[in-house]
Amino acid sequence: MVKPSLRTKSIGTKVTEEEYAKLELTAQAGGKTLGEWCREVIVASANAQVAKGQLSDGSETLALMAEFAALRTILLNVLFKEAKVRR
């Protein structure tokens, strides 16, 4: 039998009285405690972001920055050569 993983990490946030009341009502409507409901919403949101491919390890950002740097270098070389010819 597989043991369920223990929840050992905690996340906290501050909300206004009105926000708290709305969250509490929503949790109660679903028959859950506020903590259970919040955990489900947070985990579901994170899973949706991963499924959409909106989260990454940063490799796409690095590749994009490398392309921009290469294009900048090409442009600067072209402009430098053009400026030398016009002298």
Q: What is the pLDDT of residue 56?
A: 61
pLDDT at 85: 83
The count of domains in the chain is: 2
* Maximum pairwise Cα distance, the chain: 81
Residues in CB range of 42: below 8 A, 6 or more apart: 11
Is there a domain that residue 5 lies in?
A: no
Q: Give yes or no: residues 44 and 63 share one domain.
A: no
Distance between CA 69 and CA 84 in Å, rounded?
Answer: 22
> Residue 7 domain-assigned?
no
Residue 73: the pLDDT is 93
Residue ranges of the chain whose pLDDT lies below 70? 51, 53-57
Res 55: pLDDT: 58
Does the pTM exceed 0.75? no
pLDDT, residue 33, reads: 94
Residue-number span of the structural domain to which 61 is assigned: 57-87
Residues 40 and 71 in one domain: no
